[in-house]
Structures are given as structure tokens and as C-alpha cells.
A = this chain, B = another copy of it.
Amino acid sequence: MRDVYIIGTGIHPWMGFSEKVFADFAAVAVDNALKDAQIEWKKIQAIMAGIFIYGGNAGHLSGQYLESIFGETGIPVVNVYNACATGSASIRMAYNSIAAGETDTALAFGADVSPKGFLTAKSDNAVQDRDVIRWKMGGLPNPIYWALECRKRMEKYGTTEEDLAMVKVLMSEYGSKNPDARFKKQYTLEEVLKSVYVCDPLRLYEICPVSTGAAAVIVTADPELISKADNPVKINATTMGSAIYGDPTIRISALSCPAVPEAPMLSESYSASRQAYEKSGIGPEDVDILELPDNSSWHYLVYLETCGFCKEGEADKMLRDGMTKIGGKLPVNPSGGFSSHGEALSAQALWQVIECANQLRGRCGARQVEGAKVAMAQTYGLMGNSGTTIMSI
């Protein structure tokens, strides 16, 4: 199989609610990616688009919408949805299209506009869609799921409130150095520990909100485009995982979970990362930078274990020992993470890939990790969605 490279990336900075429409944000990200890749629009041979689920017909056909802005050329355009791992699906499909020989150069993008209110049920058929039950009878906003798991972890492994707060301290330090982040204020441990509980043991600063943002990545196997690109980044593997029977994690939108584990926690991400390790021949020990989905401080800790960077229950020690800091053995989320960005559903997995690529390309200024050669972007979506992308330079 031929090698596939990232040659262009673009972002629209993360922000809060906006009256502007998703296509405007998408166009900014795609324009930036084209400029970075130094190619014209007609070089794009396929578009793999993340669905903007609150955008009606246009949001569900976001790829067609984007194409009409830049000029319709008849190429394959496919729209994907994998909850918060949607961006992983788009880059994986762009990669597969090239690896399969269908195209040489493809665009993956996603854009999301934060809704004015809360995210909630999207249908009214409780038999078909248990999400209806969790909202109407369960009283279960997303962070409760994380809090339930976090409490189990504290009981089992002794994770402390200080550990949870320390994650925010680190993320806010890095976020303050990232011009594309939404939240740039730096917090002390004391400030975090004084913030109100949303769902005990998780505090306001320890969970991430919903944001507006857009991201675009151009991948290619075209030798000419690779040779003229500025520090092209090789994709060693980009994989998707789903859940494994017996996963004890209580999944968002579920009302129950197994009491006896027969699979790893967050098995969708276990599966995605193990597929990526196997396919790339790169293991956790080889990774210089990790972007993981810190939807909450709990996620930050558990993902280090799920993805095999330490054994179960040992992530707190990694954090306390400073191993996950910039300058440590495994810098985690130098971007500032979800904590500094918030979730922009169909864009966030691509933004993680872009942060990794920017780090490998030495473009990260005050938050630059020195000498990084291998980076891994790990994402997570509700109801059994996950993706892993391993890159190198």
C-alpha cells in the first residue's frame, strides 16, 4: 500500500455560539488548508465531510454544501457521522480512498456551530432510540455519565480531587498559549478546586462545554504535491473502533452497563488504538505527543490507560510525576485539549490531528514540544465511537 501524507491543514479558531452558519466556518478552515498545501481547489479529488447534525438538510449534506462554495467538480463527496469521533471517520475515509487507489488527494473537514441551548434528544421514539428515555426519564445530561465513572475510579484507584483539578491547571496553561483555543485563561489548583460542582466529583472547570469550530485536513499520495509541501506528515495509521461486548463503561445515552467486565473500559478506544498500533508497527512507547479527548478530567486519566500508556490505575501517578507535561516523557494535549477548546462535534477529531501535525511540523510557538517525531490523536464519541490517528515526520 502506498504512503499517505498530510500536506495541508486549516482551522477556524474555536469559539462560543455564533449567528454565522456552519458553511462559513468550514470555508475558512478549507481555505487555510488549501493555502497550507499550496494547491488549488481542483486538485481535491474527494471530499469526506463530517455531518453537522443540527444543520438540517444542509448540515447532513455538509460536503455537498462545501463543494458548491468552492466550485462543484463532480468528485466523490461522502458525509459521515460518528458522534464526537466524526472527524476520525472523515480522515479514515480520505485515507482509505487514497490507499485503495480511488483518488490521489482528498479533503476531510468538519464544522460545527454550538447550538444556543443544550444538546438533547433528536427523536421521540423511545423504543427505537433509548436517548429519548435518558432525557425524559433518566435525568441524565452527558457529564453525569463521566461523574459515575469518575467516582468508581476514585474508589478503586484513589484518584483525588486534586488530581482532577491538576488536569485543568495543565490544560489551561497550554490553552493560554494556543491562539486557536476558545478558553485562554490560566487557572491555579486553588481556583479549580473552588469552582462549583456540576456533578460531584466533577467541577465546572473539569468538564468541557460545546463550542463552534471548524477544521480541514488535506491528505495525498501524489509525489509532486508531497515534494512541494512544507514538512509533509506521514499517516502511519488512521483507524476506527467500536465497542466490545462486556465493556463495563456506562455509555452516554445508555441506561445500564455490565456489572462484570468482559472487555476493557472504553473498549471502542481500546480497539481503535490497538488497531492503529498493529497497523503502524508503532507502540505507545514510541509516541512523543498524545492528543486525547479530555471531555472531563476523568477522561484525561483513563485514556492514558485505555490506550496503553500505563497500566490501569497508574495514570494519576503519571500526572503527579509530571510525565504528561510538555517537557515530560509523554506530553499530553499541548493544544490545551478539549478543556481549552470545548467540543465542536464534527471538527474536533480533525483539530486533534492538526495539533499533532503542527507539533511535528514545529509550528506551535510557545506550546511547542521539542524534537517530536511521532504523534497520536485519540478521539472518543458516545455510543461506541472512536478513532486513532498515528502520524510521524
Contacts and interface: CB of A to CB of B under 8 A. Distances in A.
A265 B296 CA distance: 50
A112 interface: no
A77 B301 CA distance: 26
Chain A interface size band reads 35 or more
A362 B353 CA distance: 48
B128 A64 contact: no
Nearest to A246: B72
A74 B387 CA distance: 11
A129 B55 contact: yes
A81 B60 contact: yes
Interface string A74-85: 111111111100
Nearest to A122: B56
Given A81-B81, A122-B56, A129-B59, A243 B74 contact: yes
A21 B125 contact: yes
A125 B123 CA distance: 19
A75 B82 CA distance: 13
Interface stretch (A87-95, A159-167, A181-189): A87-95
Contact of A123 (B55, B80, B239, B384): B55
A367 to B, nearest CB: 32
A191 interface: no
B21 A128 contact: yes
A271 B56 contact: no
Given A57-B121, A60-B53, A384-B64, A71 B245 contact: yes
A384 B240 contact: no
Contact of A79 (B82, B95, B127): B82
Looking at chain A's contact residues, the main secondary structure is mixed
A67 B77 CA distance: 25
Contact of A55 (B102, B125, B242): B125
A23 interface: yes
A242 B66 CA distance: 12
B56 A131 contact: yes
Given A61-B82, A102-B96, A76 B241 contact: yes
A93 B80 CA distance: 11
A2 B81 CA distance: 28
Interface centre among A55, A101, A129, A245 (most CB of B within 10 A): A129
Contacts of A57: 121-123, 129, 131, 253, 383
Contacts of A74: 241-244, 263, 267-268, 270-271
Nearest to A127: B21
Contacts of A275: 76
A129 B56 CA distance: 7
A79 B79 CA distance: 8
Contacts of A93: 78, 93, 96
Contacts of A55: 123, 125, 128-129
Contacts of A21: 125, 127-128
Interface in A20-65: 21-23, 47, 51, 53-61, 63-64
A130 interface: yes
A383 B100 contact: no
A92 B73 contact: no
A148 interface: no
Given A64-B384, A101-B99, A56 B244 contact: no
A324 to B, nearest CB: 26
A301 to B, nearest CB: 22
The 6 closest A-B pairs by CB, nearest first: A56-B123, A74-B271, A99-B100, A76-B240, A57-B131, A21-B128
